Amino acid sequence: MAWILLTLAGVLEVVWASLMKQSDGFTRPYVTTATVLTMAASVSLLSVAMKTLPLGTAYTVWTGIGAVGAFLVGTLAFGETVGPMRAAAVALIVAGIVMLKLSTPLQDAPDPASARSAAEQDQAD
């Protein structure tokens, strides 16, 4: 479930980056509001995914999805050019995301019912 949430958070990052481009420097109120709300949703989903994914993996994958997605939106929707070096850079980002996904096990989420604080553990010992 964490990977699904992380992917959705990354997609929302692409959405807010695209909206921010269309906000004309936050001068268009409706687009600006949509940008801020989408940012909040993206970061919220990222934080939930981080409950079971390591910080380094979750944040790197989130920004990677955002970077690749923004690149694709930029080229497809905004007519930005794609040269060989830019394409190679994006391919390396995708390779890094795939390698992190394949090499990262889920961390066990702490069970609040059975977790004891350090102070409680010290008192018991």
In a domain, 71, yes or no: yes
Mean pLDDT of the chain: 88
Asked, for residue 89, whether it belongs to a domain, the answer is: yes
pLDDT tens digits for 23-35?
999 999 999 999 9
pLDDT recorded at residue 73: 97
Q: Does residue 97 sit within a domain? A: yes
- Residue 39 has phi, psi (to 5 degrees) of -60, -45
Q: What is the pLDDT of residues 71-84, one digit of tens each?
A: 999 999 999 999 99
At residue 49, φ and ψ (nearest 5 deg) are: -60, -35
The pTM of this model reads 0.76
pLDDT at 6 over 80: yes
How many domains are contained in the chain? 1
